[in-house]
Amino acid sequence: MALLKFTLPLFFIIFGAGELLKVRFVSAVAIGTIDVVLALLLVVWFFAFKHKKYLLSGALVLFVATLILSLLLNILNYTPNQLVVSSFYILRFVLYASMYFVFVDLGRKYIQFIPKLLLLTGVVVLGIGFIQYFLFPSLANLYYLGWDQHMNRMFSSFLDPNFAGAFFVLTLIFSFILRDKILSKKYTKFIYVFIILNFIAIFLTYSRGALLMLLVSVISYSAFTKNWKLTAGLIGAFVIIFLILSPRFNMEGTNLLRMASVEARIESTKTAVNIWQENPMGVGFNAYRYAREKYGDLDNSKFLPSHAGAGVDNSFIFVLVTSGVLGLAAYLFLIYKIFRLGFDNIKRNKFALVLVVSIIGLSANAIFINSLFYSFIMLWIFILAGFTESSVRE
């Protein structure tokens, strides 16, 4: 247990560091410090805690089974190296999803401590975001590593404004709904400052997917709490901020009316659907990069493989094309089970409300970017699901 007291805070700080502590070591696979700490945390949990029944275990096992099956069905279509790289993604998903089990059990012991650590992660990501926005407004110097330039946008430690924006929305939901529970009353002002800065950060990402996610999240929160004033206030804020930011619409990256990225996402989805129609059982999780190459859709990055090359902009289409109809059905069942975990307890548990609002907002966001399979967002959701289940049992 002494090891946990050191490992947990370290884990949440490294979590906030995002992509900054990742090292690419083979092909398109990158191992981060967080992966090592996660593995350590998993080992400590396995040997130090008694394990009981978990509400999501069946859905998780079913989905992972479809991922493995999808790759086995395509074993003759790829080289041994390609199969190994694709297998790493399945192992990573298992590692990240296992945090659900870990935090179901850890939540019982650290029920007052874990929300503070989640807030710490949000503070780290937000702090890095504002430092980056004012001192490093572009990723042009990392273009050779496969990153987009993202001129004059906040991308924080995730090095991508769309994923950063989605994460800011998640931490905004978390801190707003739990504003009276995370810290003692004397820190109330800090929580409200954090909420306001998160709100500003979402707009500084210039991510329309994040703005849509925020709107959907607030509408769902209003529906559950019968508080429609919040939705009306957000819409009013949208109009005002849109007018304030409109002078920056002359630059492509900060133009909220830009069409190039919309067209690219539509094309990405069309390509994936066309490939799936010829491979109804999927091309293998996550072998999509190699499947694209076979269909002539080559990665045009001049340097290392693009970070977007292995996925599809729509999370649900991504699951469909990689693991087929069975995989999509299993994944939708998993999302449904996560939703029900929160929904069934929403009237008596605020963490359940956070989980439900987060999964609804994120599902809307995932139509436009592959946020449901972005490692740090996956991690947040599985930790939140595990801690929600733990707090409900308490």
pLDDT tens string 229-270: 999 999 998 888 888 877 766 665 666 767 777 788 888 899
8 A C-beta contact, residue 382 and residue 104: no
Domain that holds residue 262: 2-393
Average pLDDT over the chain, rounded to whole? Answer: 88
Over 60: is that where the pLDDT of 25 sits? no
Of 393, 383, 390, 385, which Cα lies nearest the Cα of 119?
383
The domain tally of the chain equals: 1
- pLDDT at residue number 303: 46
pLDDT at residue 302 above 50?
no
Which of 370, 368, 380, 371 is closest to 212 using CA atoms?
368
Check residue 250 and give its pLDDT: 66
CA distances from 88 to 92, 137, 266, 331, 383 (A): 6, 33, 28, 19, 21
Phi-psi region of 284 (alpha: psi -120 to 50; beta: other; left: phi over 0): left
